[in-house]
Structure 1
C-alpha cells in the first residue's frame, strides 16, 4: 500500500537541523577546495565558481530602488531585447549559489517527493525502494531500472567515469530535498534503517539488514541480489542499496550523524579512519598483525586505526606505467625504469613521433604524483606523540614536486593543458594518439580497453618508475567493508561479509570490475589463473608489494578537501619558488591535521 503524505505532518526539527548542517558543511568544504579534483572535475569547477559568487539574496537586501529606465549602478538601461537565462553563462543569467538551488527546487521537489512516496510498492522477489539520495535499492533479489550510473570511489574509478556521474549529484540532492520536503520522518528513518524492526529474540537475530554498495551499474546487480537471496531467511531480510555519485561520502556522514547508518557499508578505504574516530564503526576483534597475514599490507593499514581493526578490505587498486608497445618497438625504445629515464625516453619518443607527446602529466590528479614523495625518500606526514605534522616542506618532497612540474615546464613532455589533467584525461589522450605513455591505475587500463578494444595488441605495461630513493611506491586505493556500530544484526553481518570474501566468490566480481582482491588468497587466485594472470595485467599485483596507504589520521580527508596538494603543483608550474610553495602547503596541512 502506498504511503499517504498528507498524514506525515512534518519532519522532526532534529532531522531538518542535521540535514541542513550536513549540506552547509558540504558546501563549505567545496568552497575551500578551488581546483581540487576530489569528487570529480566537474564538481570541483562548480565549487570554484560558487565560491566566488555572492548570494543574490544578500544583494537584494541592500539594493536601492532604481528609477525608470535606470540600470545597475545608476547607469541608463540600454534599449533592446531583454536578456534571459535561456543560454547558460550569458550575462543576463541570474547567478545562484547552493542555497538558491535548494530554494528554487523546493516547491517542485516537494511534489516529486509526494509522488515518489505514493508509488511505494512491492515487486515479485523483494521490496523495491528509491533511496533518499537517489540511489537504487532492492531487497531479496528485486531489481529496478537505474536512476543513474555514478561510479565508485575516486581511488578505484577513472575521472572520465566520475565526470559522467556529476549530473547524478544534483539528482541525488534533489531527491533528498524532495523526501525532506514531503515531511515523512518515518520514511526517512526507514530509508536509512540500520537493521530493521526485529532486533534479537531468543538469541536469534531477525529484522531487516541493510547493505550499502558502490553503484557500478545494473549489470552487476544480479551478483549482489543472489547474496541478498541467500541470507534473506529465518526472519532476516537483506536489503541492498546502491550508493554512488560525488556525494557518496556525505551520504554516509549524514547517516552517521542521524544514527541511521546501514548495518554493512562498502566504503572508500580513506574513509575508515575518519568514521572510526567518530565511533561509528564496530571493531572486528582482529589484531593488526592478524589482518596483515590475510590481506595486502597497505590494505590492512587502511582498516587499522589506533591499533584497532575496524573493517574488512575488499578490493585493491594501484598504478603502473602503460605505454604504446608498438611505437616503442618501432623507435627502438625500452620502457623507463626510473623517473630520470622517463625524461630520456619521453624526449626520444617525441623525436621519433613529432606529432605526439612523450608522457602524460596529470597535474590535476594528486595521486599520480603525490606518491613520488615516497619514491624520493620523503614522507607526506608523520605522527609524533599523538600529533600529526606535515613533512611536505622537506627537501625530498620539494624535489619530488619540482621534478614532476618540470616534466611539463622544462622538458615539454605533455601539452600545456595537462596541468589540469586527471585520470580520464590521460586515458583519452592516450587513446587519441596524443601521448606515448602514462601512469595508469588498473581501472584506467580497464576503461581504455573497454572503449578501445583494438588497442589491446598495441599497449604494454611496466612497473612504476623508481625514484632517487630506489623505490617505486604508489598509493593503494580501494574499498573496505565495515559494520556500523548501530547495527542490531552484527553476527549476521559478519556471516555475510565472510561469504562475500570467499576467494572464488571475491574473484568472480572483482575480475568483472577490473579490480584486484585485497585478500591474499583471492589475489593469488586472480594473479595465477584469473584476469590478472596475463602479461599485460600481472604488473598490477606485483605493484601491490610497494603500495602504501595515506597517513591514517581521521583528518586526512580535510587535507584533501583543501585542494592544496594540487594547488602546490600548479603554483610551481606557474613559476613560484618551490620551497616557498611547499612551506605554505606544509602550514596548511598542519593547520588541518591538528592533533588528529
Structure 2
C-alpha cells in the first residue's frame, strides 16, 4: 500500500472518529461573532516572498476584523494531506484549510468541513462557474476558489512556420500528425526535438484533458468510474501512440524542472500539454521568445474542447471554535486583492471574473487564454474516495506508455481498484 493510500485510509479513520462530535469545540464564541484566534494551513504563499505577501494581506484583514488573530502554518501540497490528517486525528483541526480541487468531497462527506454561508447562484456572478463547482458537495458550498491551475496546449510558432503549419491542431488526428512532422532526430536516430511533449507535465493531468476532450468523464453521475470508457481508452491510446508508434517523444528527453527552463523554451519540444505557469518560466529563462511572439496556445480538442482546471480552495473546519471568524478569513482570501497577490506569485489563474482586466492578467497571455476558455474547463475529483484513487493514475498511464499493458487493460484495472475504494466509502 503506497503512502497516498495509507494517508487516505488514515484520513477516513480520523474523520469517522470526529464526525459525530457535533458543534464547535468547547470555548467557541458562536457563529455570530467574528473574534478569536484561528489557525490557517496553506500550501500556497511559499518561501520568504510568499510569507511577506500573505502577512501584508493579513494586516488588511486585521484592520477590518480587529478581534481576529490568524496563526499561519505554511506547508506544501506534497505534505498537505498528511498535515490535514494529523490535525484531524489529534482532535485539533485547523480552522481554515486551503486545499486542492477534488479534495472537497473526501473531507465534506466525512463531516470535516463546515458549509459556508454562500449560494452557488450568487458565487457564479463573481467567480467563473466552473471554478465554483469544485467547492460544492451534496448541494452545499464548502469552499471558495482562490486560484486556478490550468493545463492546455502550448506551441512554438516559429517551429510551426518552419514545418509549414499555419495554426495549432484542432483534433486528435492533427495533434498526432503535427507531432510527427515537428519531431527531429539526428542521423543516428537520437531525438533532438520532441514534436509533442506529454511527459514533463504530471501524467494524470495530461491524460485528463485528453479524456475530457475525447468526450469522456472521470465518473458517472452516480459516482462510478467512467474513465475506462471508449473515450478514456482513446485518450490513453493517443498518448501511447505518440510515444511507442510515432516516437514523437522519448522517456527522459523532456524533464520537468530541467535547467534552462521548460522544454518549449529550450527548443527541445515544439508542442506540449502543460501548466499555465510555463509562460512565467519562459519569461524568466527565454524572454525573447515572448518578446518575439513565438509562444502560442491551443485547446486540447476532439469531440469537444477541454481545459484542465485544478486550483486552491479555501475551506472551514466543522470543528472550528470560531466559525464566523474562519468564514470571514476564507471570504477575504478569495477576494480580489489577496487572490490577485497569490496568483501573481505563482503565475496562476484568478477565479474572479473582475480580475480579467487587471494589469497582471493583461500582461500574461497564458493566463488570459485560460480565463477566456473557462467555459470549457473540467475539474478532477467528484467522489469521496478521490484522494485514494488519484495517486494510481501515474502508474496506470505509465504501464500503457511502456507497453506493459494495453490502454484498455490499464484503465480497466484502475477502474476495478477505484470501484473498490468507492464501495468502501
Any conservation in 1 of the 2:385–2:422 contact (CA below 8 Å)?
A: yes
Counterpart in 2 of 1:571?
399
Paired residues for 1:304-319 under 5 Å: 304-319=136-151
Higher relative contact order (CA 8 A, sep 6+): 2
Residues 547 and 211 of structure 1: is their aligned pair in 2 closer, same or farther, counting only changes over 3 Å? same
Following superposition, the deviation at residue 207 of structure 1 comes to 3.0
Counterpart in 2 of 1:166?
none
Residues 1:261 and 2:93 aligned together: yes
Any conservation in 2 of the 1:423–1:440 contact (CA below 8 Å)?
A: no
Following superposition, the deviation at residue 245 of structure 1 comes to 5.5
Residues 577 and 492 of structure 1: is their aligned pair in 2 closer, same or farther, counting only changes over 3 Å? closer
Paired residues for 1:517-556 under 5 Å: 517-522=350-355, 524-526=356-358, 529-532=359-362, 535=365, 537-556=367-386
Any conservation in 2 of the 1:212–1:262 contact (CA below 8 Å)?
A: yes
Please point out which of 358, 362, 376 is paired with 2:199. 362
Gap regions ≥5 residues in structure 1: 1-23, 33-194
Any conservation in 1 of the 2:115–2:141 contact (CA below 8 Å)?
A: yes
Counterpart in 2 of 1:492?
325
Q: TM-score under structure 2 normalisation?
A: 0.83
Counterpart in 1 of 2:109?
277
Which has the larger Rg? 1
Please point out which of 236, 257, 274 is paired with 1:440. 274
Paired residues for 1:116-127 under 5 Å: none
Q: What is the CA RMSD across the aligned residues, in angstroms?
A: 3.2
Please point out which of 410, 418, 421 is paired with 1:589. 418
Gap regions ≥5 residues in structure 2: 10-23
Paired residues for 1:39-118 under 5 Å: none
Following superposition, the deviation at residue 249 of structure 1 comes to 1.3
Give CA-to-partner distance per residue, 1:261-285, whole Å, 9 cap, x none: 2221221122222111121111013
Residues 1:460 and 2:295 aligned together: yes
Counterpart in 1 of 2:225?
390
Counterpart in 2 of 1:401?
236
Please point out which of 227, 240, 250 is paired with 2:82. 250
**Residues in 1 aligned to 2:136 and 2:353: alpha-carbon distance in whole angstroms:** 17
Following superposition, the deviation at residue 302 of structure 1 comes to 0.9
Paired residues for 1:182-331 under 5 Å: 199-200=28-29, 204-214=33-43, 215-232=45-62, 234-244=66-76, 246-331=78-163
Deviates more, 1:585-594 or 1:575-584: 575-584
SS at match of 2:199: coil
Residues 590 and 530 of structure 1: is their aligned pair in 2 closer, same or farther, counting only changes over 3 Å? same
**Residues in 2 aligned to 1:381 and 1:204: alpha-carbon distance in whole angstroms:** 40
Any conservation in 2 of the 1:365–1:423 contact (CA below 8 Å)?
A: no
Counterpart in 1 of 2:17?
none
Following superposition, the deviation at residue 555 of structure 1 comes to 0.4
Deviates more, 1:283-292 or 1:249-258: 283-292
Following superposition, the deviation at residue 408 of structure 1 comes to 0.9
Please point out which of 245, 250, 272 is paired with 1:410. 245
**Residues in 1 aligned to 2:255 and 2:225: alpha-carbon distance in whole angstroms:** 24
Following superposition, the deviation at residue 227 of structure 1 comes to 3.2
Residues 261 and 237 of structure 1: is their aligned pair in 2 closer, same or farther, counting only changes over 3 Å? same
Residues 493 and 547 of structure 1: is their aligned pair in 2 closer, same or farther, counting only changes over 3 Å? same
SS at match of 2:249: coil
Following superposition, the deviation at residue 340 of structure 1 comes to 1.5
**Residues in 2 aligned to 1:444 and 1:559: alpha-carbon distance in whole angstroms:** 27
Give CA-to-partner distance per residue, 1:37-58, whole Å, 9 cap, x none: xxxxxxxxxxxxxxxxxxxxxx
**Residues in 2 aligned to 1:497 and 1:525: alpha-carbon distance in whole angstroms:** 23
Give CA-to-partner distance per residue, 1:483-504, whole Å, 9 cap, x none: 1112222222333333333324
Q: TM-score under structure 1 normalisation?
A: 0.61
Following superposition, the deviation at residue 476 of structure 1 comes to 1.0
Give CA-to-partner distance per residue, 1:543-571, whole Å, 9 cap, x none: 3221112241110111113x2x2333323
SS at match of 2:224: strand
SS at match of 2:180: helix
Any conservation in 1 of the 2:101–2:380 contact (CA below 8 Å)?
A: no
**Residues in 2 aligned to 1:444 and 1:259: alpha-carbon distance in whole angstroms:** 40
Any conservation in 2 of the 1:424–1:444 contact (CA below 8 Å)?
A: no
**Residues in 2 aligned to 1:298 and 1:424: alpha-carbon distance in whole angstroms:** 29
Residues 592 and 200 of structure 1: is their aligned pair in 2 closer, same or farther, counting only changes over 3 Å? closer
